[in-house]
Amino acid sequence: MSENESAGEKTEQPTEKRLRDAREQGNLPRSRELGTAAVFGAGVLAVMAMSGSIGRGATAWMKHALSPEQSLRQNPKELFGHFGDLLLQFMLVIAPLVLVCLLASFVAPLVMGGLRWSQKALLPDINRMNPMSGLKRLYGPEAIAEFTKSLLRVAFVGVAAGLVVWTGFDTLRGLIHHPLETAITDGLGFTLRLLLATAGAMLVLAAIDAPYQRWNWTRKLKMTREELRREMKESEGSPEVKGRIRQLQQQMANRRMMEAVPTADVVVVNPTHYAVALKYEGGAMNAPTVVALGVDETALRIREVADGNKVAIVSAPPLARALYREGQLGKEIPVRLYSAVAQVLSYVYQLRAWRTGPMPDAPHIQVDEFGKGGRP
């Protein structure tokens, strides 16, 4: 298999961004079997919980329907009013069931995928208006799979319901010989058994279909390697953008470093290529600390800031190179440079005293030799 063919296959699992984008566009995992089973099961549970009130309401409704008042026999024009009363009573009997089923229809999507309002899902799709696309949807593999599932669903639920009807056929046949109240009670009992068997079959189908639909949803959102690379590039930024970010970060770091130069006690220079600014506070620091360092243009800028703020500048090329190579910004100097830096600081302190005091001669600096080393 060629590299192009391999790159075109959707072999990579969808990223969190791809899943999030799909949800925002209204593309959520959905199981029709789960929704149907939830609504039907909630209705069955409601019937079981309210069987007493439903039985009484059904009995009263049947009596009212089958025993018209004397006025109706004398005045048939009141028949429409009678039918209106019957319809109202029937709606009052089934209203709780309808409310429970409506609630279940809203709760079921929360179990799988959740609810998401998407304007894009409501907009017309040109591809769906294409007759060829419609034919592919009608006769494609997914349509055949859905048709097969529908046949299996009808067969499975039909077998479960048929077994209940087969075992309760004698009870059904004898209802016509029972009084109305007894017939309604026995009929409700049989209906509950039938509904429970049907709901159980639907729950079995939902338990199979829901994981499959989630797996199929994830499969459709799989990505090719090229799509994955493109998304990672967009998420993490292109090399140009990352380079610009690094440049801005470096500029900010340089700005903060230059702001620290005026607080330094001394700047050790090469004298042109290297510059390292050191600060030492005896009570707060164990050793002198590097507050700024740089080469070439940065070193020149450090010298200019130091000169403008009257910070002592000492030319000690070997020490300047060693401090730059081994020192770290914001860290104390290496131990092996203590002696040399101490001589530089001593010279700086003597220089301050000479400028402000009665010392007759200006001090001279003498930095001892120290070993070479440090990072290249």
- Report the predicted TM-score, pTM, of the whole model to 2 decimal places: 0.48
| Domain limits, the chain | 28-220, 259-356
pLDDT reported for residue 276: 92
- pLDDT, tens digit (0-9, with 9 covering 90-100), for 320-372: 888 888 888 888 888 888 888 888 888 888 877 777 766 556 556 655 554 33
Q: How far is residue 46's CA from residue 330's CA, in Å, rounded to a whole number? A: 72
Do residues 256 and 270 touch, judged by C-beta distance below 8 A? Answer: no
Q: How far is residue 30's CA from residue 206's CA, in Å, rounded to a whole number? A: 11
- Token readout for 347 is 């010279």
- pLDDT, tens digit (0-9, with 9 covering 90-100), for 168-180: 777 777 766 767 6
- pLDDT, tens digit (0-9, with 9 covering 90-100), for 125-151: 555 556 666 566 666 677 787 788 888
Q: Classify 293 as helix, strand or coil.
A: strand
Q: DSSP characters for 288-320?
A: -EEEEEEETHHHHHHHHHHHHTT-EEEE-HHHH
Q: Classify 313 as helix, strand or coil.
A: strand
Packing angle of the helix pair 141-167, 180-220 (nearest 10 deg):
160
pLDDT reported for residue 170: 75
CATH topology of domain 259-356: name from scop (3.40.1690)
- Token readout for 325 is 């190579």
Q: Where are the alpha helices (DSSP H) in the chain?
A: 3-8, 16-24, 32-49, 51-66, 70-74, 79-111, 119-122, 126-129, 131-139, 141-167, 169-174, 180-220, 225-236, 239-260, 297-308, 317-326, 338-356
pLDDT reported for residue 376: 27
Do residues 281 and 235 touch, judged by C-beta distance below 8 A? Answer: no
278 — pLDDT class (breaks 50, 70, 90)? very high
Residue type present at position 74: Q
Q: What is the DSSP letter of 267?
A: E
Using DSSP bridges, classify how beta strands 266-269 and 312-315 pair: parallel, antiparallel or unpaired.
parallel
pLDDT at 1 over 50: no
The residue length of the chain stands at: 376
